[in-house]
Structure 1
């Protein structure tokens, strides 16, 4: 071709030896970035090119992203990211190599000629990276300062190398996915161990308090009820995952009433409680609900319970203001002794609670320090 740079093509034995050496280094690459860098350097060497780059398809966005390059000024990397619908884009769409001998004569490259001129190249080839499963992973390109005719030998060499590079990219991504999966599993296991320790501590405390405050003949029923309350809270945590537990759902589960039951209303911002807070507050709702069913508003058809919570701004640390207010039921009577529910209220509020036993029913106002919560 008139004006083309003479091609210094390697004899077959030489390029085969180079290809074997490049492939050995590629296989020994410990991570994706090293694979990308080795693939670019080897591609440039195989073609005796002036520039090279490797783009991978981002698994999330689906866009081509430069992960390795040779010869380009860092100033042009961001500009080259935008050149996606020319040689690289064609190779990806067609799933086959694309050659542009002279970008000044290629109509499809017209939009990007100014960028190419600033970057310093006139010819380019792009070969897609396709692994053995047929997945398209990206594209490797080589560039020349002058118009360039790519020989069959050069394209054959890059085709062989691209297959190896695709396998190494796929291997690195599998290994990274395996590491991330192992890390996630480790976090889940640690969270599970933490929750089990907390749960056992709570069970021991419940057993001791229940045995101390109740006659032996009542122990089984009372203790079983509290264990079931713990189970419901723990079951919700399993459903919601590490994000925590939704306070509205927790309230309904612990009161064991359908959401449509008009006797109970709740009002407050969306709030996800941490695992530890969910167990404590779940037990609190169970104890208040049990008391309301036995002696308070929920013991009669006309009784009502209103539960409200808020997260006051400017409060020191994360704390929730909670109000439990009964109405329409029997008059609330001051208990003759302090039971498990009263001790639980004092413990989780750290003494910052007010109980009013009124003719209209029980009203309980608490400030509960939270060990972790998300609201929105």
Structure 2
């Protein structure tokens, strides 16, 4: 669940608690409020750790999160992420993700050359990297160390460019089952990358 949705839920739970008289319902709302606050705290800690290094304003990060949610829904993916290139650190910084646990978020907080990820491959090739089934592709031992624990079988990674054609990041969708990329989805990924590029240009 995204941070901005959690914030709205927390506000809603507080309002409900003000007017709720039934003790059982109050206990349930208090439990739901505590869970939402805990999850928001976890996501905020990851955000504060990764995004200042990528120099991403809060409003840009929120817009990227909303765009990623839409991409995930349209592609019916199980996971997703957006990473922004930073010239100073010479790496890709994780600025938005969906369904990553803390371990995955920490692992992909900063990607540099030589780590063998699809993000790195898309950065180098400046082209989409499509892995239909990580279990059947050769030479992907580095990926298997994290895809197997997460239950990921397919990865689609698309580079993001600004309006001048400069590489500025990547977005990825991950799937729990083998997944090819149909021509229509490839075109949509191009549209998604263009839209994300327009948002991320605001960090430049």
The separation in 2 between residues aligned to 1:79 and 1:118, in whole angstroms, is 13
Matched, 1:53 2:84: no
**CA-CA distance at 1:70 after TM superposition:** 0.3
1:73 equivalent among 101, 114, 126: 101
**CA-CA distance at 1:85 after TM superposition:** 2.4
The separation in 2 between residues aligned to 1:59 and 1:31, in whole angstroms, is 21
In structure 2, what is the equivalent of residue 33 of structure 1? 61
In structure 1, what is the equivalent of residue 165 of structure 2? 134
In structure 1, what is the equivalent of residue 91 of structure 2? 63
SS of 1:60's equivalent?
Answer: coil
Quick check: 1:35–1:169 contact (8 Å CA) kept in 2? Answer: no
Q: Which has the higher contact order (CA 8 A, sep 6+)?
A: 2
Quick check: 2:64–2:199 contact (8 Å CA) kept in 1? Answer: no
In structure 1, what is the equivalent of residue 179 of structure 2? 148
Deviations 1:222-250 (CA, angstroms, capped at 9, x unpaired): xxxxxxxxxxxxxxxxxxxxxxxxxxxxx
Matched, 1:95 2:126: yes
Matched, 1:115 2:146: yes
Equivalence map 1:1-376=2 (5 Å): 31-81=59-109, 84-170=115-201, 172-174=202-204
Structure 2: segments with no counterpart, 5+ residues: 1-56
Quick check: 1:46–1:154 contact (8 Å CA) kept in 2? Answer: no
The separation in 2 between residues aligned to 1:117 and 1:72, in whole angstroms, is 13
SS of 1:162's equivalent?
Answer: helix
**CA-CA distance at 1:80 after TM superposition:** 3.3
* RMSD after superposition: 1.9
**CA-CA distance at 1:160 after TM superposition:** 0.9
The separation in 1 between residues aligned to 2:142 and 2:103, in whole angstroms, is 19
SS of 1:93's equivalent?
Answer: helix
In structure 2, what is the equivalent of residue 180 of structure 1? none
**CA-CA distance at 1:158 after TM superposition:** 1.2
The separation in 1 between residues aligned to 2:121 and 2:104, in whole angstroms, is 21
Quick check: 1:96–1:127 contact (8 Å CA) kept in 2? Answer: yes
SS of 1:39's equivalent?
Answer: helix
SS of 1:106's equivalent?
Answer: coil
**CA-CA distance at 1:165 after TM superposition:** 0.9
The separation in 1 between residues aligned to 2:184 and 2:92, in whole angstroms, is 27
The separation in 2 between residues aligned to 1:145 and 1:173, in whole angstroms, is 32
TM-score by length of 1: 0.37
Deviations 1:108-145 (CA, angstroms, capped at 9, x unpaired): 42122021111221100000000111111100000000
SS of 1:104's equivalent?
Answer: coil
The separation in 2 between residues aligned to 1:71 and 1:60, in whole angstroms, is 28
Structure 1: segments with no counterpart, 5+ residues: 1-28, 175-376
Quick check: 2:116–2:143 contact (8 Å CA) kept in 1? Answer: no
- Structure 2 CA distance for partners of 1:120 and 1:76, relative to 1, 3 Å: same
The separation in 2 between residues aligned to 1:167 and 1:82, in whole angstroms, is 22
